[in-house]
Structure 1
């Protein structure tokens, strides 16, 4: 077993890797979700067995263009992570409406209305959180 693992996110974002369809970063000690902005063909992202507690999607969304990264993502596996918070912009960022796998028992379908997504997350003990700037602008993501 490796004592320390270093993941070079810049190397993963290399344009030569833009056609990768699946990426598995299992048990590598991640504490946050890496922004993989150049992996436009990614359909499956497996981040299980890490230390991700807050899924912050700030670097996944381009506010100027309104585009999220990874437009083809179908599955995001966050199982066996201590996730307690997920960025409320998740449906804006992942427009392909992927299935979020939080555990073997809990899967959240982002094609559902936001109110249902919020309910499913709450049932799993996960809070859907807004950025402070959204609150200041009066935006409300709850339905």
Structure 2
């Protein structure tokens, strides 16, 4: 199988080219997601996006983020490099159970969309009381963490 070598750099170039080609459909937005206490924070890079074009919606357990960056018309220019993508950006997440979807909030500041996704009360850790009987038949209450 001498001709079947995989070249990861070629694959990365192909992937990057498809992400930069506006004819391929929506772009992905780079993001960080982390948990802090009783909520998740999602930070997405969307520089140059009109805040009015950002659309977040929850349908069942699916969170969808959409945004648009419009191309500025530059008639009469000769492009030397044209790498900044424009068009539609899209990400979808399955939130699963245990998320308080009605309390999701979002802000857009300095080109970063921040979405706060709270954990629902029923999904937070809680103490459970355990009843145990002794050999004498009396009941003792034990609290588990």
- What TM-score does the superposition give when structure 1 sets the normalisation length? 0.25
Which of the pair has the greater relative contact order for Cα pairs under 8 Å at 6+ separation? 2
Larger Rg: 2
- TM-score w.r.t. length of structure 2: 0.25
